[in-house]
Amino acid sequence: MSSHENKTRVTILTGTYRIKGYIDLLPGARVTDYMQESREFVAVMDAEIYEAEVAGRQVLMAPFIDVNRNHIQIITLC
């Protein structure tokens, strides 16, 4: 796992997955601004990907994934 001192922990919900990991957002910065400035994909580090349903099983762990922002329904700080 990488250092997370300049990263922000988030949960991202898509239609299919619940993703937990870190984005490159400095503490105190707004997620709304981050999303508006992001391009087609959002980089998520140390990602844990689960099925979207409640208590969905974990399907993948990866040190890095790109999430297409068109598939993001909800993003929240953890």
Q: b vs e for 29-67, b when ≥16 Cβ sit within 10 Å of the residue's Cβ?
A: eeeeebeeeeeeebebbbbbbbeeeeeeeeeeeeeebeb
Chain segment 9-31, per-residue pLDDT in tens: 999 999 999 999 999 987 788 99
In sequence order, what E strands does 1-78 have?
8-13, 17-23, 41-51, 58-68, 74-77
**So what CATH class is 8-77?**
mainly beta
Rounded to whole angstroms, the Cα distance separating 2 from 54 reads 28
What number is the average pLDDT over the span 45-74?
A: 96
Six token digits for residue 20 = 């937990």
Q: What pLDDT, on a 0 to 100 scale, did the predictor assign at position 2?
A: 60
pLDDT at 78 over 90: no
